[in-house]
Amino acid sequence: MQSIVVTMDSIETSTLTDEELLAQSLERPSLFEALMMRYQKEFTSRINALVRNKDETEDIVQDTFIRIYRFAPKYNRDNGSFKSWAITILMNVARTKFAKGARNREVFAELTDEHFESLKDPVDSHNDYMDKVEVERVLGKLDADDAALLSAAYIEGLPYAIIAAQEGVSEGAIKARVHRAKLAARNALEGERVL
């Protein structure tokens, strides 16, 4: 296998880690192209396996690189490798595009007997409703910030990386805040049991 050495702005990019390239691309945007070249094929392969549509795959990969560059200043190496961070962004972009596309096309899947067999029992659905009511009651006992954070993380199912980007803080800060909010919720529940 032949290795390709890319030089941009008089820097040999093959000697730089992904994290170093990302950091230096903030000062020299042309270096970001080297990151794109490193991950283009892998990202395309991952998404094409999901959507099996060349145009949609290219759109998702392009949007992913735009978001990676846009959020590059917020990347924190202490929260994981560049690759895991970038793949999280890739999968979130794909998930978002897929959800929007399904809503716009109003695509309906044909349901087979297997689908119906896999549906929840109505009793389970009632229990889920009761669980939701219970969760909302507990969230009502927390301060607004803790309740909103737990709702985003557990009810809406948003990844910590997305919540961190929305809040303008690191993913580590979100993890710590979620932990503290869960402790507050636990304390609120234990306070009820004592009474």
What residue segments make up the domains of the chain, in order of their start?
1-108, 112-195
Q: What is the pLDDT along the chain (195 residues), one digit of tens a residue?
A: 444 444 444 567 888 888 988 999 889 988 899 999 999 999 998 888 878 788 889 999 999 999 999 999 988 888 888 898 998 898 888 888 877 765 555 554 555 555 545 544 444 444 444 466 677 777 788 888 888 888 888 777 788 888 888 888 888 888 889 888 888 888 877 776 554
Instruction: Count the residues in the chain.
Output: 195
Contact 94, 49 (CB under 8 A): no
Q: How many Å apart are CA 16 and CA 18, to the nearest integer?
A: 7
In one-letter notation, the amino acid at residue 86 is A
Query: Tokens 């507990």 label which residue?
Result: 138
Q: What is the pLDDT of residue 96?
A: 85
User: What is the CATH number assigned to the segment(s) 112-195?
Assistant: 1.10.10.10
Global pTM value: 0.49
Which listed CATH number (3.30.9.10, 1.10.1740.10, 3.40.50.1820, 3.40.50.970) goes with 1-108?
A: 1.10.1740.10
Kindly provide the b/e burial profile for residues 132-142, where b requires at least 16 CB atoms within 10 angstroms of the residue's own CB. eeeeeebbeeb
First CA to last CA distance, the chain: 70
Q: How many Å apart are CA 184 and CA 179, to the nearest integer?
A: 9
Q: What is the pLDDT of residue 14?
A: 82
Range list of H helices, the chain? 18-27, 32-51, 54-70, 82-105, 113-118, 122-139, 144-150, 160-167, 171-194
Contact 165, 71 (CB under 8 A): yes
